[in-house]
Every structure is written in structure tokens, then in C-alpha cells.
Amino acid sequence: MAQYKYGDYLHHSDHSAYDTRHAPGSPAGNAGIYRCVSCGDEIGIAKGHTLPPQNHHQHAPGVGKIESQLLVFAQQK
């Protein structure tokens, strides 16, 4: 689970970007932290980069498929 210390620097948002499920190896539309919806594995992705390929982490049988959801969006000025 992602952690933070200073909550004043985080802003809650209901933006639809947080609802999209991304397949392995697909472009990350936003820089930030992405979380696998099936196992909870998290990874930071830089702007313009792609999400890790299918072989980045493996699921045991029955865990579900690897899909990443935006957890925290890094806002640039």
C-alpha cells in the first residue's frame, strides 16, 4: 500500500483517470504510482513511459490477470 507522511501535499480527486485499468506494456497516460488491481503490487512510472511488460511480476494461479490502475498522479507545474 502506498504511504505518505504529509497529507497536506496530497489532493483527493474523483477524476476518471483513476478508474482506467491498463494492460501490461501499455502507455501510462500520467506520471505517478500504479497499482496492480489483482495483487496490489505498486510501481512508479515516469511521464511518457510504458507500464511494465507481462513478465515484470507473476501471479499465482487464481490471483487474476495483471492490470494496473493509477493510484497517485504526480502533478507537474
Binding site for Zn ion (CB under 5 A): 36, 38-39, 41, 66
Residue 8 φ then ψ, to 5°: -65, -15
| Nearest residue (CB) to Zn ion, 17 versus 63 | 63
Minimum distance from CB of 4 to Zn ion (Å)?
22
* Smallest separation, CB 56 to Zn ion (Å): 9
Q: Locate 34 and state its grid cell.
A: 500504479
- We find the least distance from the C-beta atom of residue 33 to Zn ion, in angstroms, to be 14
User: Rounded CA gap, 10 and 49, in Å?
Assistant: 23
